[in-house]
Amino acid sequence: MSAAHNTLAVEHLRVTFGKAPNAATAVDDVSFEIRQGEVFGLVGESGCGKSVTCRSLIQLFGGSRPSAMTGSISFEGRNLAALQPKDLVKVRGSEIAMIFQDPMTALNPTMKVGRQIEEGLRQHEKLSARQAREKAITLLKSVGVMAPERRLDSYPHAFSGGMRQRVLIAIALACRPKLLIADEPTTALDVTVQDQILKLILKLRAEIGMAVLLVTHDLGVVAQTCDRVAVMYAGRIVELATTEQLFAKPSHPYTRALLNALPAHGGRGGRLQPIGGSPPSLAAPPPGCRFHPRCSLAIPACELQQPPLAAIQEGHSAACIRIGEPA
C-alpha cells in the first residue's frame, strides 16, 4: 500500500461544469490509486462521471471545459492538477496516453494513418522522419495490422472499426506510456472484435509494463481484465475492491444491482434484473446517499447524510451506512 508503488494517486477530485444555479458536479470527492502495472477498472452507468474522471487526469475535456476542478492528481511525484498547460502537454502521450470510445470518429479523416502515428513520436522523442516511420511500422505490426508498410499511407476511411481501434492503440502506445487511459475502448465495436481488442491491450500492458485505467459499463469486461475496480454512481465512488472481492462479496447495494443485471452472473432463477429508476441529475442530486431513491434497502437515515467509503476488509471498502448491519 505504500505510495512508492502507486503510478497514480487521485485525491478528493471534484469537477464541476457550468455556473450556479445550473452547476453540475460531475465528479464529487473521488479518490483512488492505480498501482504500477495493474489494470484498474472504473465502472458505472453512462453519465456517472467515470469519463469525466479519466479526462480530468490529463485535463482533456473536448468541447466543454469545466468551470472548476479541485483536488490533487499525483503522478510520478508531480501533481498533474497544478501543472502549467505547457508542462501538462509534455505528459500527454509520452507518460499518460488515452484511447477513446468511438474509433470511427477518433482518427483525423484527412490525415494519413502513418502520420497520425508518427506525430506523437516526433513530438516527444524528437525522431527523424525516417526513424518515426520505421517505428510506426513496428507499432502497427505489434497491434496486429497486416502489411503495415502499405497501410501507413492509407486514410482512416479505408479501415474497419476494429482496425481503427488498433491504430488508436498504436498511437497511444507509441511512446511507451506509464499509464494508459482506455475510455470504453470496446463499446462501439462488434462483440467478436471486443474480445480481440481487450486481449491486445492486456498483451501490450505486459510488454510495456504500464498501468491501465479501464473505463467501462460492462462488469463482464471487468471480470475478464481488471485487477482492482472502483464502482461509480452519480459522481461518487461507492465501492472500491479487488476484482475477486467485488465479485465474491459485492457490498454496496448498487454494485449488487449491477451484478444482478448481468446475465451470466444470474440472480435468482437466472433472470436478468434491471435496476429500477434512472440515475439522478448531477445538477440537483438527491440529499444523503445518492442511490437511496433507487435502493431496495433504503431506510430513512439514508436521506440524511452521504455515507463515506468505509473499509470492509483489507483493500475493500464501500459507501453504505447499512454495511455491517446484521443481514
Partner 1 sequence: MNLLFFCISRLLQLVPVLLGITIVAFLLLRVMPGDPATLMLGSRGTPEDIAALTSQLGLDRPLWQQYLSFLGDIARGSFGRSIAYKAEIGPLLIARLWPTLALVGLSTVIAVLMTIPLAMYTAVRRNGAVDHAVKFFFVTAMAMPPFWLGVLLVLPLAIAVPIFPVSGYGQDWLDKLHHLALPAFIIALGTAALTIRSLRSSIIAVLGADYVDTARAKGLPERSVLRRHVFRNSLTSTISVLAVHTSWVIGGTVVIETVFGIPGLGSLLVASISARDYPMVQGLTVTFAVLVVVINLLADIAYSIVDPRVSLS
Give the count of beta carbons closer than 10 Å to the beta carbon of residue 10.
26
- What residues contact 324, with CB distance under 8 A and at least 6 apart? 310
Counting contacts by CB under 8 A, is residue 123 touching partner 1?
yes
Burial of 63 (C-beta count, 10 Å sphere; 0-12/13-18/19+): exposed
CB of 53 within 8 A of CB of 42? yes
Q: Quick one: which of 41, 44, 93, 250 contacts partner 1 (CB under 8 A)?
A: 93
Q: How far apart are CA 254 and CA 158, in angstroms?
A: 42
Q: Quick one: which of 68, 82, 111, 284 contacts partner 1 (CB under 8 A)?
A: 111
Q: How far apart are CA 157 and CA 31, in angstroms?
A: 40
Residue type, 143: V
* Residues near partner 1 (CB under 8 A), total: 35
CB of 164 within 8 A of CB of 100? no
Give the count of beta carbons closer than 10 Å to the beta carbon of residue 178.
20
Buried b (16+ CB within 10 A) or exposed e, 231-264: bbbbbbbbbbbbbebbbeebbbbbbbbbbbebee
Which of these ranges, 11-19, 42-50, 105-113, 303-311, lies near partner 1 under the rule CB under 8 A?
105-113
Which of these ranges, 35-43, 120-128, 235-243, 314-322, lies near partner 1 under the rule CB under 8 A?
120-128
Counting contacts by CB under 8 A, is residue 165 touching partner 1?
no
Q: Quick one: which of 51, 56, 94, 165 contacts partner 1 (CB under 8 A)?
A: 94
Q: Which lies closer to partner 1 via its Cβ, residue 109 or residue 326?
A: 109
User: Closest approach of Cβ 100 to partner 1, in Å?
Assistant: 6
- What residues contact 254, with CB distance under 8 A and at least 6 apart? 231, 233, 238, 239, 275, 291, 294, 295
Q: Quick one: which of 5, 12, 90, 203 contacts partner 1 (CB under 8 A)?
A: 90
User: Closest approach of Cβ 64 to partner 1, in Å?
Assistant: 8
Q: How far apart are CA 79 and CA 65, in angstroms?
A: 20
Q: Quick one: which of 46, 105, 278, 281 contacts partner 1 (CB under 8 A)?
A: 105
Q: Quick one: which of 46, 67, 108, 313 contacts partner 1 (CB under 8 A)?
A: 108
User: Closest approach of Cβ 126 to partner 1, in Å?
Assistant: 13
Q: Quick one: which of 172, 210, 212, 238 contacts partner 1 (CB under 8 A)?
A: 172
Where in 125-164 is the site for partner 1 (CB under 8 A)?
155, 157
Instruction: Return residues touching partner 1 (CB under 8 A).
Output: 58, 60, 62-63, 85-86, 89-94, 97-98, 100, 102, 105-111, 116, 119-120, 123-124, 155, 157, 168, 171-172, 174-175
